[in-house]
Copies of this chain bind each other. A is one copy, B any other.
Amino acid sequence: MENATRRIENLAKQIIEELKSNWVSADVNDESEIEIQKAFDPDSLHKYLFPYHKEMRNPLVNDFLSCPLLAQPVFGLSLKEERALTRKQFEQIVVLMRKYNVSVYDFIRDPKKIAAFHQCYRFPNIALSTLFGVHFSLFGATVLFLGTDEQRERYIPLVENLGLIGCFGLTELGHGSNVQHIETIAEYDHSTQEFVLNSPTVTSQKYFIGGAATNATHSVIFAQLKVGETMEGVHAFVVNIRDKTTGQAMPGVRIADCGHKMALNGVDNGRMMFKGARVPRDQLLSRYGGVNKAGIYSSPINPAGKRFAHSIGALVFGRYIISLGCVSFSAVALTTAIRYAFSRKQFSGDEPTKEKQLISYATHQRRLFPHLANTYATHFLNEYVLNLCSEKERKEKEIHIVASGIKAYGSWMCRDSLQEARECCGGQGFLSANLIGPYKSETEIYTTFEGDNALMYQQVSKFLLTEARKNPPQPYQQPNSTQKSQLDSKYLRSFEFIQSAFNSRLNHYTLFVTDSLSDSVASGKSIMNTWNDSGNIIFKLGQYYTEKTLVDKFHAGVVACPDPTQKHAMMLLFQLFAMNNLEKDPWFLRYQFISPEQSEAINQEVTNLCKELVPYSVSLADAFGFDYRHLGPISRDWVSENKY
C-alpha cells in the first residue's frame, strides 16, 4: 500500500517536472532562441532568501494549492458573491492557521512564524489576505499589544477559533492620517461601570472599516477617553458591534456599507456611528492605561499625548506585513512577465519565421529588470525589519523608522512593478487569469492604507531631523576630479562608489533640509507653515534615507550568499538597483557627485546590466517561490492553453 502511494507520488513529481521544463511550446521555438538557462536552482536561492521556518513552508504551500476553494481563481462575481466567497475562504485560512499553530501570540513570541505564514500564501484572491489581516493582525494584534494578560486570554482564543470576527475602528470620515485627533468619544459612566460611545459629528463616524459592513461581530474602537472632566487621550476598546446570530447591529451602533470599490470587493468596508453604545469597563484595553473599579483612571505613561504612540505602536508590524506582501505580488507579476518574454516573439528582420523573443529587446529588458532589482532590495530590507522585530530588546525607534520607510518604498515598488509587468504583457496582462491585472488593482491601495506614503516618508524624516540636531552629519564634499573622471564599469559598479553615493546624498540632504527649515523659521514663518511649505524636501529626505538603507541591506544580503552563481546574479541586480537610482535622480548631477560623463556612462551601465541579467532572470524570479501551479497561463505554454 505504501509502495503504491510512493509510486503515485513519484509519477506526479515526474509530470510536474515535465510540465516545468516543457512550458515553451514547439510553436515558438527556433534555433536562435535564448534558452531559459537554469543558471542555478531557484529552490536553493529560495531557501537562502527565506531561511526560517523551512519545515512549514512546503506543506503549507501545498495545502494552499491543493485546496480548490483557495487556489482556484474566480473572477467576474457580483459584489455579493465576491464577499460570500471571500468569507468562506477566510474561514479556510483560519483552519490552516490553526493547523500550523500560527498564533496571535506570535506577534510577540515568534514574528518570523507570522512572516513565513504570509510568505507562503498561494491564493489568487488578495481580498482574502486583507480580510484575514484585519481580523488577525489588526484586531488580534491590537488586543495582544494593548490588552492586559486577562484580556489577551479572553479574546485571543476567540480570534483563533472564530468565536468572534474582529475589525479595526481607527479611521474616521474626517481623520484618516491625523488619527490622534479622531472625534469619537468614550465617556466613563461610573454608575454602570461602562463607557458610553458617541460619534458627535458626521465626520466622526468610523469610516472604511474592513469587515464592518457585514462580517465583523467585534471591533477595536479607538476613541477619546473621558473620565470625569478629564480627557485622557486616544484609547482602544473592544466593542461588540453586531449580534453573531442575527447579524443585527448592537444597540447604539449604526452600521452602513461603504459600497463598491475599484478592487478588493471581497472585503466588506463599512462605516459606523455610535449613539450611546455601552461598553463594559473591562473592555477598555488596559495595558497602558485603564479605569479601576473605583472609577479612577491611571496609566504608567504620562502625559496623555504620549500614550498615543503606544496605542498605535502595534501598527508598525502591519507596515512590514504590507511590504512583505508587496514583494510577493511583485514577484508573481515579474515571474509571469519574464517567463512570457522568453516565450513570446515579435518582429524580425525580414523572415517572419525568425521573430525574436521579447526578452532579447533592450527596451523590454530595461522595462522589467529594474523592478526585479527593486523587489530584491525590498525583500532584503524587509528581512532586516523582521530581524529587528524578532529581537528580545526591541529597538522601537529604529523599527518605526525603517518599517515606515519600507512600507512607502515597498508599496510604490509593487505598484510600479505590477504596472510595468502588465504593460509588458499587453492585453494578456489585462486578462484576469494571468493574475497581474487583478493583483495590480487589489494591491495599489497599499500606497495609502495604514498611512499615506508621503506621510510615511515624512515620519522617517522627522526622526532623522531630530537625530541630526543632536549629531549633525559630516558636511557634504564632492568627489575629487580624479574620482569624477572614472568611467569604467568596475569603478561605477563597486560597492565603495555606490555606498558613498547613497551616503553622501543622505548626509547632504539632511543638512540641506535642516538649513532650509532654520532659514525659513529665522525669516519669521511659523513652524507649522515652514514644515508644510518644505514638505517636498522633507519627503525626499525620508526617501533618501530609505534608499540608503536598501543599498546597505541588499548588499549585505548578496555578499553573504554562499553560492557563487547566485551571488553573482544577485550582485548584478544590486548594481542595477544602484545604477538605476543614480541615473534617475538629478541630485547626483545637481550636487556634482558625478560628472556629466559619468552620468552618460551610468546610463550605459543600466543597459549593459540588463543584458547581462537575461540568462539569470528566470531563476532569480522563480526564487520567490511562485511556480506554474499558481501563475497564469502566459507563464507556461500559453499557445497550447489557447487551443480550441
- A: which residues have CB within 8 A of B? 27-28, 75-81, 171, 173-178, 181, 201-203, 205, 207-208, 254, 256, 258-265, 269, 271, 273, 345-349, 352, 355-356, 360-364, 366-367, 415, 419, 422-423, 426-427, 429-433, 436-438, 440-441, 444-445, 447-449, 452-454, 526-528, 532-536, 539, 583-584, 586, 589-592, 596, 599-600, 603, 607, 611, 639-640, 642-644
A532 touches B362 (CB 8 A): yes
Q: What is the minimal beta-carbon distance from A501 to any residue of chain B, in angstroms?
A: 14
A363 touches B263 (CB 8 A): no
B453 touches A423 (CB 8 A): yes
Q: What is the minimal beta-carbon distance from A232 to any residue of chain B, in angstroms?
A: 15
Instruction: Known A362-B535, A423-B452; judge A642-B205 contact (CB<8 A).
Output: yes
Instruction: Known A454-B367, A591-B596, A596-B589; judge A260-B642 contact (CB<8 A).
Output: no
Cα–Cα, bound, A28→B539 (Å) = 27
Query: Which residues in B have their C-beta under 8 angstroms from that of A536?
Result: 362-363, 366, 607
B454 touches A363 (CB 8 A): yes
Query: Which residues in B have their C-beta under 8 angstroms from that of A28?
Result: 174, 203
Jot down 18 A-B pairs with beta carbons below 8 A, ordered by A.
Answer: A28-B174, A175-B346, A181-B355, A258-B431, A259-B431, A262-B422, A262-B430, A262-B438, A349-B528, A356-B528, A361-B535, A362-B534, A415-B419, A423-B452, A586-B586, A586-B599, A589-B596, A590-B600
Q: Which of B356, B423, B433 is in CB contact (< 8 Å) with A532?
A: B356
Query: Which residues in B have their C-beta under 8 angstroms from that of A447?
Result: 423
Query: Which residues in B have their C-beta under 8 angstroms from that of A431?
Result: 258-262
Query: Which residues in B have their C-beta under 8 angstroms from that of A208?
Result: 427
A347 touches B260 (CB 8 A): no
Cα–Cα, bound, A519→B393 (Å) = 60
Query: Which residues in B have their C-beta under 8 angstroms from that of A449?
Result: 427
B173 touches A259 (CB 8 A): no
Cα–Cα, bound, A259→B634 (Å) = 14
Q: What is the minimal beta-carbon distance from A529 to any residue of chain B, in angstroms?
A: 9
A599 touches B589 (CB 8 A): yes
Cα–Cα, bound, A208→B639 (Å) = 14
Cα–Cα, bound, A361→B454 (Å) = 11
In the complex, the 4 A-B pairs of residues with the closest C-beta atoms, listed nearest first: A262-B437, A76-B79, A363-B535, A75-B260
A448 touches B433 (CB 8 A): no
Query: Which residues in B have their C-beta under 8 angstroms from that of A533?
Result: 362, 611
A260 touches B432 (CB 8 A): yes
Q: What is the minimal beta-carbon distance from A578 to any residue of chain B, in angstroms?
A: 15
Q: What is the minimal beta-carbon distance from A69 to any residue of chain B, in angstroms?
A: 18
Cα–Cα, bound, A580→B224 (Å) = 43
Closest B residue to A73 by beta carbon equals: B260
Closest B residue to A583 by beta carbon equals: B586
Q: Which of B362, B427, B527, B589 is in CB contact (< 8 Å) with A586?
A: B589
A440 touches B262 (CB 8 A): yes
A76 touches B432 (CB 8 A): no
Instruction: Known A362-B533, A591-B596; judge A349-B437 contact (CB<8 A).
Output: no
Query: Which residues in B have their C-beta under 8 angstroms from that of A265?
Result: 76
Q: What is the minimal beta-carbon distance from A320 to any residue of chain B, in angstroms?
A: 21
Query: Which residues in B have their C-beta under 8 angstroms from that of A203?
Result: 27-28, 639
Q: Which of B178, B260, B261, B586 is in CB contact (< 8 Å) with A346?
A: B178
Q: What is the minimal beta-carbon distance from A570 to any residue of chain B, in angstroms?
A: 23
Query: Which residues in B have their C-beta under 8 angstroms from that of A441?
Result: 262-263, 441
Q: Which of B269, B352, B644 is in CB contact (< 8 Å) with A254?
A: B644
Cα–Cα, bound, A509→B644 (Å) = 48
A173 touches B526 (CB 8 A): no
Query: Which residues in B have their C-beta under 8 angstroms from that of A362?
Result: 532-536
Query: Which residues in B have their C-beta under 8 angstroms from that of A444?
Result: 419, 422
Cα–Cα, bound, A436→B271 (Å) = 20
Cα–Cα, bound, A431→B431 (Å) = 22
Closest B residue to A173 by beta carbon equals: B642
Cα–Cα, bound, A533→B432 (Å) = 32
Closest B residue to A349 by beta carbon equals: B528
New contact pairs (16) apart from A269-B427, A349-B528, A590-B599, CB-CB < 8 Å = A77-B78, A178-B346, A207-B642, A260-B432, A261-B437, A263-B441, A271-B642, A273-B644, A361-B532, A362-B533, A419-B444, A423-B453, A426-B452, A430-B445, A590-B600, A591-B596
Q: Which of B27, B363, B445, B592 is in CB contact (< 8 Å) with A539?
A: B363
Question: Which of A76, A444, A591, A600: most chain B Cβ within 10 A?
Answer: A76
B202 touches A642 (CB 8 A): yes
A427 touches B454 (CB 8 A): no
Query: Which residues in B have their C-beta under 8 angstroms from that of A81?
Result: 78
B590 touches A590 (CB 8 A): no
Query: Which residues in B have their C-beta under 8 angstroms from that of A77?
Result: 78-79
Query: Which residues in B have their C-beta under 8 angstroms from that of A453?
Result: 423
Q: What is the minimal beta-carbon distance from A269 to any residue of chain B, in angstroms?
A: 8
Instruction: Known A175-B346, A262-B430, A644-B273; judge A27-B201 contact (CB<8 A).
Output: yes
